[in-house]
């Protein structure tokens, strides 16, 4: 996982670290510190946790693993279009 992707997606969703963690199923007592550690690259979440973050943040799972910033942006655009189509 690329740490900056998690932070970017969380800020775009206007969620605090604690709120994101709790919504993704992380225990409230360690919520903020765990997200902080993930965003700073101290620890890496497992794939299932990344999937939970993706669900909460409404981004594709691959967004967290894409190295190229331009491609990551394109993924978000494509995903947003598909996401809006599903809601309609």
Evaluate if residue 88 carries a pLDDT over 70. Answer: no
Q: Tell me, what CATH number does 10's domain have? A: 1.10.260.40
pLDDT band for 80, please (50, 70, 90 cuts): confident
When divided into structural domains, the chain yields a total of 1
Q: Is 59 left (phi over 0), alpha (psi -120 to 50) or beta?
A: beta
Range(s) of the domain holding residue 65: 3-86
Q: How many CB atoms lie within 10 A of CB 61?
A: 15
Q: pLDDT digits over 15-43, tens only?
A: 999 999 999 999 999 999 999 999 999 99
């Amino acid at each position: 996982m690329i740490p900056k992707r998690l932070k970017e997606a969380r800020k775009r969703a206007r969620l605090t670290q604690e709120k994101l963690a709790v919504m993704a199923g992380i225990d409230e007592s360690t919520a903020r510190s765990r997200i902080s550690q993930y965003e700073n690259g101290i620890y890496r979440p497992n794939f299932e946790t990344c999937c939970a973050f993706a669900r909460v943040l409404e981004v594709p799972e691959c967004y967290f693993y894409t190295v190229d910033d331009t491609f990551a942006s394109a993924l978000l655009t494509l995903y947003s279009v598909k996401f809006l189509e599903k809601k309609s």
